[in-house]
Amino acid sequence: VLLQTILVGDSGVGKTSLLVQFDQGKFIPGSFSATVGIGFTVGTVPISFLFQIWDTAGQERFRSVTHAYYRDAHALLLLYDITSKSSFDNIRAWLTEIHEYAQSDVVIMLLGNKADMSSERAIRRDEGERLAREYSVPFMETSAKTGVNVELAFTAVAKELKHRAVQHPNEPKFQIHEYIEAQKEKSGCCSYF
Ligand SMILES: Nc1nc2c(ncn2[C@@H]2O[C@H](COP(=O)(O)OP(=O)(O)OP(=O)(O)O)[C@@H](O)[C@H]2O)c(=O)[nH]1
């Protein structure tokens, strides 16, 4: 099964960095040149599902190019930057676009990236949580720099997709929210913030 996950969000929120951190376990500082068209990388996740990951360009002028890719996506990681109010405000616009172009059963997760930059924080954690609750999507803060919650974000999405794919009628439904909360407690993630 090939699972396509797309990272979506404004330019500079850290989509490419998050992908590199997940795929290679490292942070390469400095700016990547803005992704032109569609960046592409393949990574494996612990549950050995092949993930096909699209890293979409956040820049307005590339949007028409990316619409076509929403249709085939199984999951969307929607990113904002916790130091950028505009990237947070634009999440609603991204969600509108997602609802317009993506499959109705697409798995969506909201991520507040750059959680390591606490001194420049512009969006409180509970603001992210509230927005996520409003749209009934799971949420966590991540850092492509320190790696906090990066593995968890991708793993939770992969598990959700796997359970959907192999769901037996009598099996209890996978609860992505509960899974994330349990993992967060285990890793003590939240003391980072
Ligand atoms: N401190 C910190 N910096 C980050 C983090 N993630 C990304 N950055 C930095 O933010 C800048 C933008 O990151 P990119 O990964 O290029 O962002 P992008 O969303 O892929 O941007 P586009 O390709 O333009 O859409 C770079 O300078 C990164 O080094 C993070 O978690 N913490």
Among protein residues, the one whose CA lies closest to atom 32 of ligand 1:
114
How many domains does the chain contain in total? 1
What is the CA(12)–ligand 1 centre distance, in A? 5
Q: Is 114 in the pocket of ligand 1 (CB under 6 A)?
A: yes
Residue nearest to ligand 1 atom 25, measured at CA: 11
Q: What single DSSP character describes residue 153? A: H
Q: What is the pLDDT of residues 139-184, one digit of tens each?
A: 999 999 999 999 999 889 888 887 877 666 677 777 888 888 888 7
**Residues above pLDDT 70, as percent of the chain:** 74
Question: Encoding tokens for residue 28?
Answer: 């390469």
Please indicate, yes or no, whether the overall pTM of this predicted structure exceeds 0.90.
Answer: no
Residue 93 has pLDDT above 50, yes or no: yes
Q: Residue 8 — φ and ψ, nearest 5°?
A: -130, 145
Residue 55's pLDDT band, with cuts at 50, 70 and 90, is low
Nearest ligand 1 atom to alpha carbon 57: 25
Task: Say yes or no: CB of residue 56 within 6 Å of ligand 1.
Answer: no
State the chain's mean pLDDT as an integer: 80
- Which residue shows structure tokens 């993992």? 183
Task: Find out whether the beta carbon of 16 lies less than 6 Å from any atom of ligand 1.
Answer: yes
106 vs 159, 160, 181, 193, CA distance in Å? 14, 11, 21, 29
Of the given ranges (85-94, 117-126, 151-160), which has the lowest mean pLDDT?
151-160
Lowest mean pLDDT across 4-18, 26-40, 61-75: 26-40
Ligand 1: residue of 17, 117, 151 to mutate (most ligand atoms within 8 A of CB) is 17
Q: Which domain holds residue 106?
A: 2-189
Which residue has its alpha carbon closest to ligand 1 atom 12? 12
The CATH number assigned to the domain holding 102 equals 3.40.50.300
Tokens for 135, please give them. 């749209």
Interface pTM, i.e. ipTM: 0.98
Residues in the chain: 193
